[in-house]
């Protein structure tokens, strides 16, 4: 089937945008993150500004209509500076005590504003919450710190204190249960580490035993597309591919450059050009951090693929004021593409290479096109 969705004239060349029903990937959604305590900035805003900012993020008619919230599972003992604190600020000396119901967890009910952001998103109908572990608490690792890489004790390496794989899996389940206690249900969680498959084999059964069968495991927040592609094949060779939901990748070390061939979903979970100051333009000649660049970034990703006042944020909140960047509106172009949509073929003829067209079939039967 082949039909024309829009026909417009651009300069002298007629432009034809068309979509055909060749099906590509299913879209789980588009998301935001309020990590590094940025969720607190929204929490601390007074009305009506708080509602305005939430509308900008989640409203499907007046805002960007985001459908995924990515939270970070803190790993530091406190939340000084921008740190995200762990629910296990003091570890017992051996892993065996760290059960899912261990009494030493400290849940402050706020999680640096992420509970508020998640609950608010839920009011707008967001169903996908993605908890992202950047590190295990230091006491579970070979270097005894949550920073500077190294391994979870027990993953291809042994520690005098024991094998912490099961304890860490229990800890992650406990974190999900704290969220469940405030009404937020996770759809996904993340594992990281070079020997991720070994840990995933412990985590999956631990989630299942806790009746968290609907919580998927995403892996491994690679720094870039090439690394993520390697992770995907390592996980497949280790036989862990059926245990994961999605392969996750950033785009810092390499950009999305092709289709990743594996059976799991693929999520692009983080990127910033880390370049230039805060600004709100749609288009600037330098082509960094403007709305147009980000419309292209999202388009390319779909089609194939800390404060410092920098340009990586969509909304800048300072005390009781906020400013909106055109980057937010770049994402808003995709708000018509709802979770569960399938991308279908779209192409343009004429108009030079200026216009890009993407077409999607939403799960409710509506067909949408963005240009
Ligand atoms: C805590 O969990 C362990 C196993 O994970 C179980 O043996 C123990 O009975 C539980 N304790 C409580 C108080 O539920
Ligand atoms: C989205 O914004 C519209 C227009 O202001 C409003 O009527 C609607 O209630 C908002 N949706 C939600 C879920 O708050
Ligand atoms: C899981 O669900 C089953 C059936 O509803 C129930 O019997 C069991 O106690 C639950 N287990 C946990 C750990 O919540």
Q: 160-212, pLDDT tens digit by residue? A: 999 999 999 999 999 999 999 999 999 888 776 557 899 999 999 999 999 99
Q: State the distance from the centre of ligand 2 to the C-alpha of 50, rounded, in angstroms.
A: 14
Ligand 3 pocket, CB under 6 A: 210-211
100 inside domain = no
Q: Which ligand is nearest to the CA of 177?
A: 3
Q: Residues 129-150: pLDDT tens digits?
A: 999 888 889 899 888 777 777 7
Q: Residues 259-292: pLDDT tens digits?
A: 888 889 999 888 887 777 778 888 886 777 778 7
**What Cα–Cα distance (Å) separates residue 164 from each residue in 109, 147, 159, 215, 220?**
26, 17, 9, 21, 19
37 inside domain = no
Contact 126, 188 (CB under 8 A): no
Q: State the distance from the centre of ligand 3 to the C-alpha of 212, rounded, in angstroms.
A: 10
316 inside domain = no
Q: Which ligand is nearest to the CA of 124?
A: 2
Ligand 1 pocket, CB under 6 A: 99-101
Give the predicted TM-score (pTM) of the model.
0.85
261 inside domain = no
Can you give the pLDDT at residue 275?
Answer: 74
279 inside domain = no
Atom 13 of ligand 2 has which residue's CA nearest to it?
124
Q: State the distance from the centre of ligand 1 to the C-alpha of 101, rounded, in angstroms.
A: 6
Can you give the pLDDT at residue 318?
Answer: 85
Can you give the pLDDT at residue 205?
Answer: 96
pLDDT band with cut points at 50, 70 and 90 for residue 332: very high
Q: State the distance from the centre of ligand 3 to the C-alpha of 308, rounded, in angstroms.
A: 47
**What Cα–Cα distance (Å) separates residue 109 from each residue in 8, 183, 329?**
52, 11, 32
Q: Is 150 in the pocket of ligand 2 (CB under 6 A)?
A: no
Residue 197 and residue 240: Cα distance in Å, rounded? 6
Q: Is 62 in the pocket of ligand 2 (CB under 6 A)?
A: yes
53 inside domain = no
Q: State the distance from the centre of ligand 1 to the C-alpha of 100, rounded, in angstroms.
A: 8
Residue 55 and residue 275: Cα distance in Å, rounded? 27
Residue keyed to tokens 């008619």: 61
Q: Is 306 in the pocket of ligand 2 (CB under 6 A)?
A: no
Q: Which ligand is nearest to the CA of 100?
A: 1
Instruction: Tell me the residue range of the domain where 356 lies.
Output: 12-28+340-370
Atom of ligand 2 nearest to the CA of 124: 13
**Domain total in the chain:** 1
358 inside domain = yes
Say which residues have a Cβ less than 8 Å from residue 73's Cβ, sequence separation at least 6.
Answer: 84, 86, 131, 132, 133, 134, 172, 175, 189
Q: State the distance from the centre of ligand 3 to the C-alpha of 208, rounded, in angstroms.
A: 10
Can you give the pLDDT at residue 16?
Answer: 58
Q: State the distance from the centre of ligand 2 to the C-alpha of 331, rounded, in angstroms.
A: 18
| Residues paired with 17 in a beta bridge | 6, 348
Atom 12 of ligand 1 has which residue's CA nearest to it?
101
pLDDT band with cut points at 50, 70 and 90 for residue 100: very high
346 inside domain = yes
Q: Which ligand is nearest to the CA of 180?
A: 3
Atom of ligand 3 nearest to the CA of 209: 13
Round the average pLDDT of the chain to a whole number and report it. Answer: 85
Atom 10 of ligand 2 has which residue's CA nearest to it?
59
Atom of ligand 3 nearest to the CA of 210: 13
Q: Which ligand is nearest to the CA of 63?
A: 2
């Amino acid at each position: 089937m082949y039909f024309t969705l829009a026909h417009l004239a651009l300069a002298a060349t007629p432009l034809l945008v068309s979509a055909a029903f060749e099906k590509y990937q299913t879209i789980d959604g588009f998301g935001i993150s309020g990590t590094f305590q940025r969720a607190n900035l929204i929490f601390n805003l007074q009305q009506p500004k708080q509602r305005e900012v939430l509308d900008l993020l989640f409203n499907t008619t007046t805002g960007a209509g985001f459908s995924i919230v990515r939270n970070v599972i803190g790993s530091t003992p406190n939340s000084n500076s921008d740190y995200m604190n762990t629910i296990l600020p003091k570890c017992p000396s051996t892993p065996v005590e760290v059960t899912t119901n261990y009494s030493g967890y400290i849940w402050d009910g706020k999680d640096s504003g992420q509970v508020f952001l998640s609950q608010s998103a839920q009011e707008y109908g967001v169903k996908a919450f993605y908890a992202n572990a950047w590190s295990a608490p230091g006491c579970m690792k070979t270097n005894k710190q949550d920073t500077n890489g190294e391994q979870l004790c027990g993953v291809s390496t042994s520690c005098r204190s024991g094998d912490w794989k099961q304890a860490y899996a229990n800890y992650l389940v406990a974190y999900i249960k704290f969220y469940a206690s405030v009404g937020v249900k996770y759809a996904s969680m993340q594992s990281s580490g070079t020997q991720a498959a070994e840990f995933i084999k412990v985590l999956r059964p631990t989630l299942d035993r806790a009746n968290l069968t609907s919580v998927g495991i995403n892996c491994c927040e690679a720094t870039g597309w090439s690394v993520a592609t390697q992770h995907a094949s390592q996980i497949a060779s280790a036989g862990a591919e059926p245990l994961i939901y999605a392969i996750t990748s950033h785009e810092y070390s390499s950009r999305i450059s092709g289709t990743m061939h594996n059976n799991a979903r693929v999520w692009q979970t983080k990127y910033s050009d880390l370049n230039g100051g805060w600004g709100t333009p749609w288009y600037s000649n330098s082509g960094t951090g403007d709305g147009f660049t980000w419309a292209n970034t999202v388009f390319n990703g779909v089609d194939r693929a800390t404060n410092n006042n920098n340009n990586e944020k969509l909304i800048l909140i300072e005390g009781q004021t906020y400013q909106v960047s055109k980057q937010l509106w770049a994402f808003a172009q995709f708000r018509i593409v709802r979770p569960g949509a399938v991308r279908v073929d779209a192409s343009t003829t004429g108009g030079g290479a200026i216009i890009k067209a993407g077409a999607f079939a939403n799960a409710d039967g509506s067909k949408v096109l963005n240009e």
